Amino acid sequence: VGAFVESERWYRAAPPPSSRWSFVPARSAKPDMLESIITYRGRTFDLSLTRVHAAVARAGDGFILSVHNPGFTGQWDDEHGLCVLLLEWLLGEDDVERWVRRVDCLVHDVQDSIPAAELPARVAELAQASPEPHWLLMQGTLGSGDPILVRVLRPLRWIDHPRFDLHTALRIPFDADEQGLPRAAASDDLGGLEDSLVRALGMRGMLVATETSKGARTFHFYSDAEDQNGRDALDAAARERRSVTARHSLDPGWRKVQDFA
């Protein structure tokens, strides 16, 4: 993940492309490679014989892929690396990260597999059917028995915002009812504060989730770690309210919020 972020920064800092060279942040799709016979780590593979079983993940936001080629033996550590490389040639490095949840290598083909060349069309269909970014409200119960409310942006994908690698958890106590949830006035205050934080951060970052329980709401923001102004905007909000705390940590893969994905 860190390599994606670093390459994105190199790409943004690179000079304009010329007739001699250009810089790209990720490996582009080269589907014609799947018509080749290649030698990979000393072994020969006819890539045209590759087949893929594509199962939509439970959340409906990606695929679990099982890749078969007659050259696979199941006894070679580099077979998984070749599977990933094949998918990057088919889809491009970014779309592998965006749409592939898991990759398995198969020695034997399975029912309902498709020629590998058909996989990009399957991915395009899923992408077209995917909803626009939206907020999802979830509720549950903590181990202590206290209720928790989570509001999360869907889809929750760092690859769509590769520069935003700094996680900021802004924790704000509020006037709570007997369940630890905000009373009406506190709820209005939190909503107004959220709006002001989002405006202050602007294009430098984004709010991706909030969690509310036990008398406090935590806002989860992501911004560019190399842009001090984004961090400063959130720190300023914390200074304005004595009880507010802000914790920053590098998190290029958005692992801090993966429980909400």
**Distance in Å from the first CA to the final CA of the chain:** 17
| Of 61, 94, 83, residue with least CA distance to 258 | 61
The per-residue pLDDT for 205 is: 96
Q: Residue 54 above 60 pLDDT?
A: yes
Q: Which pLDDT value is given to residue 14?
A: 57
Percent of residues, the chain, with pLDDT higher than 70: 90
> In the prediction, which pLDDT does 139 show?
96
Residue 15 pLDDT? 66
Please report how the helices 119-129 and 79-91 are oriented relative to each other, as an axis angle in degrees rounded to 10: 60
Percent of the chain at pLDDT > 90 equals 72
Write down the pLDDT at residue 26.
Answer: 57
User: Could you read off the pLDDT of 182-206 as tens digits, one per residue?
Assistant: 999 999 999 999 999 999 999 999 9
Q: What is the pTM of this model?
A: 0.79
Classify 4 in phi/psi space as left (phi over 0), alpha (psi -120 to 50) or beta.
Answer: alpha
pLDDT at 206: 97
How many residues does the structure list for the chain?
261
> Which neighbouring-strand residues pair with 167?
222, 249
Helix-helix angle 228-240:184-201, to 10 degrees: 150
What pLDDT shows up at residue 140?
Answer: 95
Specify the amino acid at residue 243: S
Nearest to 246 by CA among 212, 221, 210: 221
Set out the domains of the chain in order of their start, with CATH numbers.
2-129 (no CATH), 134-260 (3.30.70)
